[in-house]
Amino acid sequence: MDYTDKVMENFQNPKHVGELSDANGVGQVGSPACGDIMKIFLKIDDDGIIQDASFKTFGCGAAIASSSMATDMIIGMNIEEAAKLKNSEVVEALGGLPNEKIHCSVLAAEAIQAAIDDYKKGATA
């Protein structure tokens, strides 16, 4: 398990941990059986810009670091952009992930999509 310094930094001092009380888009993916659950909270304004984002994650170091990095990356994006965030961009921002941990970055991208879908459905609006 060779994590980059960026991964360790995001694991040790993750940004945007917790629930956003005023989130209007929430998405959760993964399963405890697989060892990862990621829940993403988004506060999206009327222009479709992500004003704030946060996460809660059950998972390994890479899952936590991916959550931290991904939420940080999408704040300020509009939801079209954010929905297109590729897992490879998260990996790159983290300076790389071990092969067997790439799926954590996938999970982060998917959780963001799920939260945006949730916002669009107006489920939590």
Partner 1 sequence: MKRIYLDHAATTPIDPQVYEVMTKILAEEYGNPSSIYSEGRSVKKYVETAREQIAKAINADIREIYFTGSGSEADNWAIKGIAMKNRAKGKHIITTQIEHHAILHTCEYLEKDGFEVTYLPVDEFGLISLDDLKAAIRKDTILVSIMFANNEIGTIEPIKEIGEIVKEKGVIFHTDAVQAFGNVPIDVKDLNVDLLSISAHKIYGPKGMGALFIRKGVLIDNLIHGGAQERKKRAGTENTAGIAAFGKAAELAVINLEENSKHLQTLRDMLIEGVMAKIPQVRLNGHPTKRLPGNVSFCFDYIEGESILLSLDLAGIAASSGSACTSGSLDPSHVLLAIGLPAGVAHGSLRLTIGKHTSQEDIEYVIEQLVVIIERLRKMSPIDVNCPIDDAVFEDAGHHH
Among 20, 25, 39, 44, the residue binding partner 1 under the rule CB under 8 A is 39
Among 23, 25, 53, 59, the residue binding partner 1 under the rule CB under 8 A is 59
For residue 31, state whether it binds partner 1 (rule: CB under 8 A).
yes
Q: How far is the CB of 31 from partner 1 (least distance, A)?
A: 3
- Residues that are catalytic: 34, 104
Which residue, 3 or 119, is less far from partner 1 as judged by CB?
3
DSSP state letters, 21-65: TT-SEEEEEEEGGGTEEEEEEEEE-TTSBEEEEEEEEES-HHHHH
- 54 token code pair: 């946060």
- 107 token code pair: 């999970």
Instruction: Choose the stretch contacting partner 1; rule: CB under 8 A; options: 36-44, 72-80, 89-97, 117-125.
Output: 36-44
The rounded distance, in Å, linking the Cα atoms of 41 and 100 is: 26
Measuring CA to CA, which residue among 91, 29, 22, 28 is closest to residue 50?
22
What does the binding site for partner 1 look like in residue numbers (CB under 8 A)?
A: 1-3, 8, 11-12, 14, 17-18, 28-39, 56-61, 63-64, 100, 103, 106-107
